[in-house]
């Protein structure tokens, strides 16, 4: 039986429709029929083929071991259709017919990070849609049933973003600890991740979000979603506005863009003891006077996607009705190249979810 996949065959060129034999699950593998696959900003970087390190330097994806052709999408929801012969009792309740969201941040299973349960920071990652084929296809192979989180009656289109946008913002916000209950969190970037971050803060009973974005439509959407304030990142007094909105300077800033001007804004808007978590991979570099770090004192931390237990916590929050889905728009899988183009132009509010 044949299946469709949309692959990156050449960086920067439209994704190519390839017909392939539907794989059969071997060993502990599980075959999942894709019901919904989200299009993420990092898919854009993989498609382009590099990350911008600033100062004219680029980190090529080939250097990270990413090989083409590759089927993108790491935000996958689908139905279990077949389980490999060794998925056995460990497969638990993963039976044919189970609707699940797939944890895509898979490690080697052997290194110290994997053994600690932090497969997301494995040094030999096997992530779906990055190192292995992902969800812009009719079917996807998942290496082990433990990476499937049962959706219950949740809508796969609404749940798909949990696998990246959800777990990434959840893991980053958890790094702020109890201060989310004491002070508003400043969120830079109101795209798919920004909307999700607002929902996560609401689900965790946080004080609230102050959103910063260059785009008026995205600021409007953030306010509708419940943000306390929305500030234009390009306003000449953007820093002063954040300081005012936070009542004297931010204690928690989540930078979902990760570009030179946004990280500068994040650091400038912090009060003493401020904590900046950088998630975005837009790229660039900054020059920072070192005495500032101990004297303010500042905490600058990176956060990369999230762990399987964090995804399970997040799905539980949504299944229990404590968290609302963030805005999504579903499109037929065949429109993937138009969706990619719209995302590249920054014209998308919320998440685009492709449906095979
Ligand atoms: Zn992603
Ligand atoms: Zn590992």
Please identify every stretch of the chain with a pLDDT value under 50, giving residue numbers as ranges.
none
Tell me how far the alpha carbon of residue 39 lies from the centroid of ligand 1, in angstroms: 8
Tell me how far the alpha carbon of residue 130 lies from the centroid of ligand 1, in angstroms: 10
Note the ligand closest to the C-alpha atom of 168.
1
Tell me how far the alpha carbon of residue 118 lies from the centroid of ligand 2, in angstroms: 8
Query: Which class is 2-162+306-355 in CATH?
Result: alpha beta
Tell me how far the alpha carbon of residue 257 lies from the centroid of ligand 1, in angstroms: 13
Note the ligand closest to the C-alpha atom of 104.
1
The domains of the chain are located at 2-162+306-355, 167-302
Tell me how far the alpha carbon of residue 91 lies from the centroid of ligand 2, in angstroms: 21
Note the ligand closest to the C-alpha atom of 111.
2
Tell me how far the alpha carbon of residue 88 lies from the centroid of ligand 1, in angstroms: 30
What would the pLDDT profile of 26-41 be if each residue is shown by its tens digit?
Answer: 999 999 999 999 999 8
Tell me how far the alpha carbon of residue 150 lies from the centroid of ligand 2, in angstroms: 24
Tell me how far the alpha carbon of residue 43 lies from the centroid of ligand 1, in angstroms: 7
Tell me how far the alpha carbon of residue 147 lies from the centroid of ligand 2, in angstroms: 15
Identify the pLDDT of residue 239. Answer: 98
Note the ligand closest to the C-alpha atom of 164.
1
Structure tokens at 199: 């929902």
3-state secondary structure 70-89: EECCCEEEEEEEEECCCCCH
Closest by CA position to 306, among listed 193, 112, 168, 201: 168
Tell me how far the alpha carbon of residue 208 lies from the centroid of ligand 1, in angstroms: 24
141 close to 30: Cβ distance less than 8 angstroms: yes
Identify the pLDDT of residue 135. Answer: 98
Tell me how far the alpha carbon of residue 16 lies from the centroid of ligand 2, in angstroms: 31
Domain covering 167-302 in this structure, CATH number:
3.40.50.720
DSSP 247: T
CB burial string 167-198: b at 16+ within 10 A, e below: bbbbbbbbbbeebbeebbbbbbbbbbbbbbbb
Note the ligand closest to the C-alpha atom of 280.
1
Tell me how far the alpha carbon of residue 100 lies from the centroid of ligand 2, in angstroms: 24
Q: Which residues contact 299 (CB under 8 A, 6 or more apart)?
A: 273, 274, 275, 276
Note the ligand closest to the C-alpha atom of 256.
1
């Amino acid at each position: 039986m044949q299946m469709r996949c949309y692959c990156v065959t050449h960086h920067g060129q439209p994704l190519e429709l390839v017909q392939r034999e539907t794989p059969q699950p071997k060993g502990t593998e599980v075959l999942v029929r894709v019901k919904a696959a989200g299009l993420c900003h990092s898919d854009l970087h993989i498609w382009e083929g590099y990350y911008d390190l600033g100062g004219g330097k680029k980190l090529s994806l080939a250097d990270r071991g990413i090989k083409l052709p590759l089927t993108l999408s790491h935000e996958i929801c689908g139905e279990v259709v077949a389980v490999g012969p060794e998925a056995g009792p460990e497969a638990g309740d993963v039976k044919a017919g189970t609707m699940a969201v797939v944890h895509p941040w898979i490690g080697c299973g052997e290194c110290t990070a994997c053994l600690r349960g932090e497969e997301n920071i494995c040094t030999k990652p096997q992530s779906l849609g990055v190192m292995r084929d992902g969800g812009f296809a009719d079917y996807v192979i998942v290496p082990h049933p433990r990476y499937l989180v049962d959706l219950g009656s949740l809508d796969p289109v609404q749940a798909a973003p949990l696998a990246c946008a959800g777990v990434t913002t959840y893991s980053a916000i958890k790094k702020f600890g109890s201060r989310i209950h004491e002070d508003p969190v400043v969120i830079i970037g109101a795209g798919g991740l920004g909307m999700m971050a607002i929902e996560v803060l609401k689900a965790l009973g946080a004080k609230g979000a102050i959103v910063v974005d260059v785009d008026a439509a995205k600021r409007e959407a953030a306010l509708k979603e419940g943000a306390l304030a929305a500030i234009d990142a390009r306003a000449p007094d953007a820093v002063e506005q954040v300081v005012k909105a936070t009542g004297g300077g931010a204690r928690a800033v989540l930078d979902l863009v990760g570009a030179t001007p946004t990280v500068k804004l994040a650091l400038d808007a912090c009060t003493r003891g401020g904590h900046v978590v950088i998630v975005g991979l837009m790229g660039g570099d900054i020059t920072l006077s070192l005495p500032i770090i101990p004297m303010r004192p500042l905490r600058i931390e990176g956060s990369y996607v999230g762990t399987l237990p964090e995804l399970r916590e997040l799905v539980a929050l949504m299944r229990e009705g404590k968290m609302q889905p963030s805005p999504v728009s579903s499109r037929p899988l065949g429109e993937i190249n138009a969706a990619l183009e719209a995302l590249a132009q920054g014209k998308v509010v919320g998440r685009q979810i492709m449906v095979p």
